[in-house]
Amino acid sequence: MACLNICKEEGSAQGKPMKKEQEVCTRDGSVDRHGDPAIRGRTGTWFAGILILVNQGLATLAFFGVGVNLVLFLTRVLGQDNADAANNVSKWTGTVYIFSLLGAFLSDSYWGRYKTCAIFQAIFVTGLASLSLTSYLFLLKPRGCGDEQTPCGSHSTYQKAFFYFSIYLVALGNGGYQPNIATFGADQFDEGDAEEGYSKIAFFSYFYLALNLGSLFSNTILGYFEDHGMWALGFWASAGSALLALVLFLVGTPRYRHFTPQGNPLCRFCQVMVAAARKWKVQRVPNQDDLFELEGSKDSSKNGERRIQHTQGFRFLDRAAIKDYTEDENDIYNPWRVCPVNQVEEVKCILRLLPIWLCTILYSVVFTQMASLFVEQGAAMKTTISKFHIPPASMSSFDILSVAAFIFIYRRVLDPFVAGIRKDPKGLTELQRMGIGLVIAIIAMVSAGVVELLRLKYAKKECPNCESASSLSIFWQIPQYVLIGASEVFMYVGQLEFFNGQAPDGLKSFGSALCMTSISLGNYVSSLLVTIVMKVSTRDKMPGWIPGNLNKGHLDRFYFLLAALTTADLIVYIICAKWYKYIKFEGNQQRNLGGESKLSNEEADLKVELEKLSDFPKRKSQHFPSVEMWRNTSKLLSNPNYHHNRLNSSLSDFSGNGFVFGPQSLLTHYYSSPQSATSDSLKLGISNHKSDGIRAFSSSSAAAPAVVDALSPLASAVQLARHYSSCYWELSKARLSMLVVATSGTGYVLGSAGSAVDLAGLGWTCAGTMMVAASANSLNQVFEKNNDAKMKRTRQRPLPSGRLTIPHALSWAVSVGVAGTAILACKANMLAAGLGASNLFLYAFVYTPLKQIHPVNTWVGAVVGAIPPLMG
Ligand SMILES: CC(C)=CCC/C(C)=C/CC/C(C)=C/COP(=O)(O)OP(=O)(O)O
């Protein structure tokens, strides 16, 4: 009601007709900083979201600026031995994750996410500043010590105490802030709105990307300085970055949306358990109507929290909601005797999440290998290219690049592709994605095992007695890093979305903390596993699988063991995922992120109508819309809720997801001007309203067969051929590709200087280059469909104009790309094919995503342009 009032004031204050409630206020119960219902246009969404993403990137940079080389600091500066240093780092890392539970608890119960983030970030900055100061003033003595050659002097107990106090402040600050910032970012998008719900899902991917980019900077640049003894610089840079992150966070204060904390969840949990146990002997579990519900102001759902639908599982807990008092006692109910259904369902939700969460721990065991055994394996390989040394730990940059590329591939290609195939805008659910993450993790472990086998083979052949060395290049590790990066995108982004979306409203931060604790437990399980493996494998005086000298061990077997364990975990996971029931809310409070439905009720109705309409192209004998279709359409259009913008945004939402429905343009056409839809244009499925007057086919190429039925066979064949050839021409940016071919051909001719030009070779090289360039351009357009739709220059391209579907364009791109590379490989040489394929990758998967992120993409574009002459 409060929301309605505010919205009324909004409308009348401007002297305009009053806007509808859902257009102005958020529908998820979020409030602004004054506690009033949040107004959609003034709060949240991407302004707040981007601030939070940048804040996360900077804070991660700061955290890893300390974490990445802490073990080196302890050995070189504080003079600890390797084992003590490793132990201290493990304790410190573990503490970060324990503090994450504390942060989640405080924010869910009392402080709310904004306050918790601000307080813990302030602690984080204080810890970093104190660490920088302590190091600079007391620990880095004599000046310049702490690199590989110069050890530092001894330190007093006070100085060491200051150091530990500082790094544990950093742990407290980061731990308490981390789970809350992810959830707080997600809070900025209203699930009740289709567009914002979609942005919320995107937010989790970008959040993970920001996290990775921040750590990339620390792993490479800060790591380099610290490794060379410039510790104070590294720590001050971290402190500065954390301070900047905090300032940016505070800058967004007026724009944030908030959710009111719901009180101590531990207490609510215990109440349900105690109340259920007290009524253990109650025979009959009543039906839902007999269960206790809070009414009026006591109902937490009036407080922004949605009521969870009653579910059938864990029925013994329903006993907690059996009323065991008479009606007149209603006002003074004892929460330790009877609990409302919503409270009981909260407990059930968490119990359902636990098996899934347990299955994710083994994935984290695989993930942690990247920071430990992968590095040791890399150190035992050939780490030089000519005179340049590649630090084995820096190979994790491939993981980070892979994360960036796969976030993009997942969001722009795979999800729309799956949605297109399933004819369902949902795409993959979080649980499915986490399953895919496990599968990729298994492949990564197999790949690491195979590389280790090869490494051992080379080591034994060339230098049987060498200490941990092999002539196999460290670049053979790239696939395992890339695969781990890909698996993270599916597993960790899926996990973030899943635990955040599936946790009850009062426990959202706890949901994010579950992800963090899974990583931390992965660390502990990993060291437990290593200990067990070493104990078993060192029996009978054997060196064991993972000895100091890896050439004497069998790291390959350890990787294969992990692959086998992850496979077993995958099987258990599938069973748990099948058993899992997504959270559902009562009435129109249905959530969008649950995977069951990403649509609000309004959109769901619209989708049903559209799905009926989408049958149109399949009914080949019907060239005119059926009476039922007309009725559905007019019902849809006469409904005032489906105002123009909403309809269009819903349509573009569906098509943005690759959801194929034929009469999209038809429907938009009807809606914008029902009278102008001539029966001819309906019959042909051709829309006449394109701005450039081009008669284009209707939005989906799936509609083409229906169109063709209306014509004579020959005319239809010609029409189809013209349609597709013009689509492929435009998709391949044929004129640009021909220019590329010209540079490649010139290179070929210049390269044949002194001898006659082999014309056949020239022809094949040009053809191959043309096809690979066409493929690169087509992929570029697939990834840029949504952006192209926004610009006048590009909105007529085949994908944004709806003349071709994404799966169709992808099939074309893959076919010409593979064929072109094969032609170059067979008819030119492997170098040309390799350059062509790499250039395709560079343009489609590096330049294109970078284009939206940073102007540095122009440099990548320059390289892309420079490679074709080299191919020639
Ligand atoms: C052999 C091989 C793979 C060659 C590739 C050559 C190639 C495609 C060069 C294009 C280079 C480039 C930076 C184009 C701009 O794309 P854009 O995305 O900025 O253009 P847009 O905005 O018009 O889509």
The residue whose CA has the least distance to atom 4 of ligand 1 is 773
* DSSP, residue by residue, 2-48: HHHHHHHHHHHHTTSPPPPHHHHB-SS--B-TTSSBPBTTTSSHHHH
Kindly state if the Cβ of 768 falls inside 6 Å of ligand 1. no
Name residues whose C-beta falls within 8 Å of residue 171's C-beta, 6 or more positions apart in sequence.
92, 95, 96, 99, 127
The residue whose CA has the least distance to atom 13 of ligand 1 is 861
Task: Report the pLDDT value the prediction gives residue 476, as an integer from 0 to 100.
Answer: 94
- The CA distances from residue 628 to 239, 602, 753, in Å, are 66, 20, 72
DSSP-derived secondary structure letter, 384: E
Per residue in 464-483, pLDDT (tens digit) is 777 768 889 999 999 999 99
CB count, 10 Å around CB of 311?
Answer: 19
Q: For residue 807, how far is its CA from the centre of ligand 1 (angstroms)?
A: 21
CB count, 10 Å around CB of 370?
Answer: 22
* DSSP, residue by residue, 523-578: HHHHHHHHHHHHHHHTGGG---SS-SSGGGS-HHHHHHHHHHHHHHHHHHHHHHHH
C-beta of residue 656 within 8 angstroms of C-beta of residue 649: no
Kindly state if the Cβ of 780 falls inside 6 Å of ligand 1. yes
Kindly state if the Cβ of 820 falls inside 6 Å of ligand 1. no
Q: For residue 50, how far is its CA from the centre of ligand 1 (angstroms)?
A: 28
CA dihedral 380, 385, 389, 391 (to 10 degrees): -60
Name residues whose C-beta falls within 8 Å of residue 487's C-beta, 6 or more positions apart in sequence.
363, 366, 367, 437, 438, 440, 441, 444
Phi/psi of residue 31, nearest 5 degrees: -125, 165
**CA–CA distance, 388 with 391 (Å, rounded to integer):** 10
* 744 Cα nearest atom in ligand 1: 1
Kindly state if the Cβ of 865 falls inside 6 Å of ligand 1. yes
Determine if the pTM surpasses 0.90: no
Kindly state if the Cβ of 772 falls inside 6 Å of ligand 1. yes
Kindly state if the Cβ of 869 falls inside 6 Å of ligand 1. no
Q: For residue 734, how far is its CA from the centre of ligand 1 (angstroms)?
A: 11
The residue whose CA has the least distance to atom 9 of ligand 1 is 865
Kindly state if the Cβ of 740 falls inside 6 Å of ligand 1. yes
Kindly state if the Cβ of 775 falls inside 6 Å of ligand 1. no
Q: For residue 691, how far is its CA from the centre of ligand 1 (angstroms)?
A: 26
Kindly state if the Cβ of 647 falls inside 6 Å of ligand 1. no
Kindly state if the Cβ of 800 falls inside 6 Å of ligand 1. no
Q: For residue 777, how far is its CA from the centre of ligand 1 (angstroms)?
A: 6
Q: For residue 840, how far is its CA from the centre of ligand 1 (angstroms)?
A: 9
Q: For residue 778, how far is its CA from the centre of ligand 1 (angstroms)?
A: 10
Long-range contacts of 328-336, Cβ-Cβ distance < 8 Å, separation of 24 or more: 333/292, 335/271, 335/275, 336/271, 336/274, 336/275, 336/278
Rounded (10°) angle between helices 664-672 and 627-638: 60
The residue whose CA has the least distance to atom 20 of ligand 1 is 780
**CA–CA distance, 103 with 124 (Å, rounded to integer):** 13
Kindly state if the Cβ of 836 falls inside 6 Å of ligand 1. yes
Kindly state if the Cβ of 743 falls inside 6 Å of ligand 1. no
C-beta of residue 198 within 8 angstroms of C-beta of residue 49: no
Kindly state if the Cβ of 363 falls inside 6 Å of ligand 1. no
Task: Report the pLDDT value the prediction gives residue 701, as an integer from 0 to 100.
Answer: 34
* 794 Cα nearest atom in ligand 1: 23
Kindly state if the Cβ of 778 falls inside 6 Å of ligand 1. no
The helix or strand, by DSSP H or E, that contains position 389, with its residue range, turns out to be strand 388-389
The residue to mutate among 847, 851, 856, having the most atoms of ligand 1 within 8 angstroms of its beta carbon, is 847
- Residues with pLDDT less than 50, the chain: 1-22, 297-302, 588-710
Q: For residue 489, how far is its CA from the centre of ligand 1 (angstroms)?
A: 27
Kindly state if the Cβ of 861 falls inside 6 Å of ligand 1. yes
Q: What is the ipTM for the molecules in this complex?
A: 0.95
Q: For residue 541, how far is its CA from the centre of ligand 1 (angstroms)?
A: 60
Strands 696-697 and 384-385, bridge-based pairing = unpaired
Kindly state if the Cβ of 840 falls inside 6 Å of ligand 1. yes
**CA–CA distance, 357 with 503 (Å, rounded to integer):** 12
Kindly state if the Cβ of 846 falls inside 6 Å of ligand 1. no
Kindly state if the Cβ of 766 falls inside 6 Å of ligand 1. no
Q: For residue 77, how far is its CA from the centre of ligand 1 (angstroms)?
A: 50
